[in-house]
Chains A and B, each alone.
Chain A
Amino acid sequence: MLIEKLKARFGGEILDAQNARDEETFTIDRERAYDFFRALRDEPDFDFNFLTDVTAVDWPERKPRFEVVYQLNSLNLAHRIRVKIGVDGADPWVHSVVGVWGAADWLERECFDMFGIVFKGHPDLRRILMYDSFEGYPLRKDYYYNKRQPIVPEIDPVVNPIRSSR
């Protein structure tokens, strides 16, 4: 079982482990998350070479407020796990995992765009689905779904230089 293997290997780093509906969920501490993910990818017992998804869930009444949720998949061993990091609402940040999986680049940008969670160490953290001058973070529960945004001035393509990929 993956859950025992991970507990045996990481012990104290895992704050909580659950198996519900045949899915294993681990909660870890954000300080050591990067090394944890690296080990998950590199060690042959786990071999999580595929980052499926990065997203967050907002629980305004809980502490910590945000859960950053990573879905990992191993293409070789055909197993999945979910890893969660609890993040405080006042200063929401986690370490970026772009150095571990390239897919984290856009997925973390989207999570930042939608929830305002800062991925420290991300090489190019800017909005992706929304425009740069968008105010607020739309998937937070305190963002009313009908909220209007101020009208932004037109961007002149000649005066403003175009964006670089990095």
Chain B
Amino acid sequence: MALPARWKDKIVPSDPSDEIMELQMGPSHPAAHGTIKFNLKLDGERIVDCDVEVGFLHRGFEKMCEQGTWTQCFPYTDRLNYASPCINNVGFALAVERLLGIDTTERCKYVRMIMSEVSRIADHLTCLGMAAHEVGGSTAGMYMVEAREFLYDLIEAVTGARVTVTWCRVGGVTHDLPADFADRIKASFARLDQVLSDCDKMLSRNRVFIDRMAGVGKLSQPEAISYGLSGPLLRAAGVPYDVRKAHPYLVYDRMEFEIPTGDRGDNYDRFNVRFQEMYQSKRIIEQALAAIPEGPVTITDPRVVLPDKQKVYSSIEGLMNHFKLIMEGIHVPAGEVYQAVEAANGELGFYVVSDGSGRPYRVRVRPPCFLGMGALNKMLIGRMIPDIIATFGMINMIGGECDR
């Protein structure tokens, strides 16, 4: 092969026994789902140094949020963690509602919570399915992706979209649960149970899977806390921190559920924690469906919520109200709020600042997987190349959220 002239003096024959090889893995690597680059220094197959490069999917989320009204941010939030967009919607809506000092309806809280938990199961299935697929368990991967479809069908039945739902609004949600939602959940969960039990059998005691996961990507408890890990990554290290319990929002304080934790902080614990969390989410959904009250799913405060179409078409007040809310946006009092929700990957925080106008002055997202990626090189140095795949899979980096 003819080499470019400028490479000639760079390529030197070397002694393979003492050479540190430099390897760039990514930004588009078939085994790493997502655009991410690992700048590796390798001694044989052992990782001596690993510089994790992110930002390939940066779209200026925070900047774009400052350009429109508060309501216009919702479509952007869908595209943060696109495996569980409902949770992002809910987080942003709660932040703005707290800034406004309003509270939404009781039914709306339940609906938001149910959809958050459906999304969490879908997200965990994506993460575990992909991770299983990448370490050789393709069958389990396909099963889980199929199970995710049942849940996406549920999300579609409620929001009308599968991924980019844009379903929350300040003060409520756009669509209530359909009348037959409880039956749909029942049918989906029956099939989901079958998949989970199959995958449990296929993976949890599978020799190959355990060898690839157990003891790999370890991070001790103090390190995990110091690096700001949250969600399943932190719980796998034995810290029972869950935003739903520590700083309850919506109606999580009325639900009974447990926080699964691990004790070794390795990939197998992370897998287990996520797996157990799916059962806990199911528990929450079942309790919520039993307790959900009747009523509207959105408040009717004309300063915040659009008027009925009937009023817009037939009265000047309704038309003006609609026009002002669309053109100027919701007037949020000046101030700032940090609102965290427990997303599938950990603590998803929205720090929103308003200067009193109809547009956000600053929207900051605290992305859970960004912090996980920040600790990735600590988990990998000293390990082998194939461990990158398993560890990266368990961090569950979602490019939209990590790079924003």
Contact = CB atoms under 8 A, between A and B. Distances in A.
A158 B63 contact: no
Interface in A15-62: 20-21, 23, 25, 49-53, 55, 57-58
B252 interface: no
A69 B404 CA distance: 19
Given A106-B371, A165-B50, A57 B99 contact: no
A103 B228 contact: yes
A82 B339 CA distance: 12
Interface in B199-252: 223, 225-228, 239, 241, 246-247
A129 B228 contact: no
A152 interface: no
A21 B99 CA distance: 8
B10 A131 contact: no
Interface in A57-100: 57-58, 69, 71, 75, 78, 80, 82
A148 interface: no
Given A102-B223, A129-B404, A138-B60, A162 B51 contact: yes
Given A55-B364, A157-B24, A159-B10, A80 B55 contact: no
B22 interface: yes
Contacts of B24: 157, 162
A156 B7 CA distance: 10
Interface string B363-404: 010100011011101100100000000000000000000011
B371 A71 contact: no
Contacts of A102: 223, 226-228, 374-375, 378
B320 to A, nearest CB: 30
Contacts of A75: 225, 239, 241, 246
Given A129-B54, A164-B39, A139 B374 contact: no
B64 interface: yes
Contacts of B62: 114, 139
Contacts of A114: 62
B299 interface: no
A106 to B, nearest CB: 4
Contacts of A50: 225, 228, 241
A129 B373 CA distance: 12
Interface in A135-166: 138-139, 143, 145, 156-159, 161-165
B356 interface: no
Contact of B351 (A55, A145, A156): A55
Interface in B294-349: 335-338, 340, 347, 349
A128 B241 contact: no
Interface string B39-63: 1110000000111111100101011
Contacts of A163: 39, 51, 53
B361 interface: yes
B349 A53 contact: yes
A105 interface: yes
Contact of A53 (B101, B241, B364): B364
B168 interface: no
A69 B362 CA distance: 12
Contacts of A165: 39, 49-52, 377, 381
> Interface centre among B99, B226, B353, B381, by most A CB within 10 Å?
B226
B108 to A, nearest CB: 20
> Interface centre among A21, A57, A71, by most B CB within 10 Å?
A21
Contacts of B186: none
Contact of B374 (A20, A78, A103): A103
Contact of A129 (B49, B55, B371, B378): B55
Given A78-B247, A106-B370, A131 B7 contact: no
Nearest to A22: B98
Contacts of A157: 24
B226 A101 contact: yes
Contacts of B337: 21, 23
Interface of B: 6-7, 10-11, 22-24, 39-41, 49-55, 58, 60, 62-64, 66-67, 98-99, 101, 223, 225-228, 239, 241, 246-247, 335-338, 340, 347, 349, 351, 353, 361-362, 364, 366, 370-371, 373-375, 377-378, 381, 403-404
26 contacts: A20-B335, A21-B99, A23-B337, A50-B228, A52-B338, A58-B362, A75-B225, A75-B241, A75-B246, A82-B338, A101-B226, A102-B226, A102-B374, A102-B375, A103-B227, A103-B371, A106-B370, A107-B374, A139-B63, A143-B63, A162-B39, A162-B41, A163-B51, A165-B39, A165-B49, A165-B51
Given A143-B63, A161-B22, A164-B39, 6 more contacts: A52-B340, A52-B347, A58-B362, A75-B239, A145-B63, A164-B51
Interface of A: 20-21, 23, 25, 49-53, 55, 57-58, 69, 71, 75, 78, 80, 82, 101-103, 105-107, 110, 114, 127-131, 138-139, 143, 145, 156-159, 161-165
- 7 smallest CB-CB distances across A and B, nearest first, come from A103-B228, A106-B374, A129-B55, A102-B226, A162-B39, A165-B51, A102-B227
